[in-house]
Amino acid sequence: YYTAGAVETFAKDWNAGIIRIAMGAEGNGSYLEDPGGNSDRVVTLIDAAIANGLYVIVDWHSHRAEKDVDVAVSFFKALAEAYGDTPNLIYEIYNEPLDTTDWAKTIKPYANTVISAIREIDPDNLIIVGTPSWAQRVDVAADNPLTGHSNILYALHFYAATHKDELRRKADYAIKTGLPLIISEWGTVTYNGDGYMDEKSTREWMAFAKKHHLTHLNWAVSDKNETASMLRPKANPNGGWTTEDLTPSGRLARDIIRDW
């Protein structure tokens, strides 16, 4: 679904204002193994987002990004050179650090290195930093935020059937300290992407996002056989989907986004 047609469908049928390009940065088939083919996919979606007037997040989709900091720096510098002069582009430099990854000792130094490299080229586009424990411990980041950089956002991720009031309390605390958040990934289901869909909890999270004016992006644009996927198997890669092409999660996400 890394196609211009899919992006156009989100812009024109879903009334989306933003898309997120998940650029796999660890494991089989990722950027580490195939930088050329994966870069082509990213470029296709960025160009389509710009053509449709959308913001576009390029997400370095890794749980261990600090292990390949030089590769991340090279990737984001090339991205900044190519698109740093358009306000559409948003950099997400670390998707979801693990629960064992230390904020102060590991994530912050990584973030400072990658942000500094981007800022040498692009002085002002938004940059999203992942927070500990799969982008849930925004309270830890709030107590020790990055300094010396501007236009920085901090990632908050939730899966509605798993994460509820306890995580919202952490987010509330971060917001009250002045930490700028973005919900760069959320699902209607359990944290593993394949549990039951919890519409009640999803609606509670959407009320929270609306109350605090938080941008949010639903996971996932996929026809994988799991409940988090928006699309049923074999839905057209080029978009133009009907409601019959959407999973229950996809229909709920579309309703939310269209009415936002």
Amino acid at 171: A
**Torsion sign across C-alpha atoms 224, 227, 228, 232:** positive
Amino acid at 84: G
Tokens matching residue 249: 């999660």
Beta bridge partners of 152: 127
**Could you give the CA distance from residue 63 to residue 160 in angstroms, rounded to a whole number?**
21
- Residue 215's pLDDT is 98
Measured between alpha carbons, how far is residue 75 from residues 49, 102, 149 in Å?
19, 24, 20
User: Active-site residues: which are they?
Assistant: 96, 185
Tokens matching residue 97: 């650090």
DSSP 240: -
Amino acid at 186: W
Residue 19: phi and psi, rounded to 5, are -125, 165
- Residue 124's pLDDT is 97
- Residue 145's pLDDT is 98
pTM, two decimals, is 0.97
Q: Give the chain's end-to-end CA distance (angstroms, integer).
A: 23
**Residue 256 contacts by C-beta under 8 Å, 6 or more apart in sequence?**
202, 206, 218
Asked if 132 contacts 101 with a C-beta cutoff of 8 angstroms, the reply is yes
**Residue 155 contacts by C-beta under 8 Å, 6 or more apart in sequence?**
92, 95, 96, 128, 129, 130, 131, 135, 138, 181, 182, 183, 184, 185
Render each residue's pLDDT in the chain as its tens digit; 260 residues.
999 999 999 999 999 999 999 999 999 999 999 999 999 999 999 999 999 999 999 999 999 999 999 999 999 999 999 999 999 999 999 999 999 999 999 999 999 999 999 999 999 999 999 999 999 999 999 999 999 999 999 999 999 999 999 999 999 999 999 999 999 999 999 999 999 999 999 999 999 999 999 999 999 999 999 999 999 999 999 999 999 999 999 999 999 999 99
For the CA atoms of 191, 195, 197, 200, what is the dihedral angle to 10 degrees? -60
- Residue 193's pLDDT is 95
Summarize pLDDT for 69-81 with one digit per residue, the tens.
999 999 999 999 9
Summarize pLDDT for 160-206 with one digit per residue, the tens.
999 999 999 999 999 999 999 999 999 999 999 999 999 999 999 99
Beta bridge partners of 91: 58, 127
- Residue 173's pLDDT is 98
- Residue 162's pLDDT is 98
- Largest pairwise CA distance in the chain: 49
Query: Rg of the chain over CA atoms, in angstroms?
Result: 17
- Residue 231's pLDDT is 98
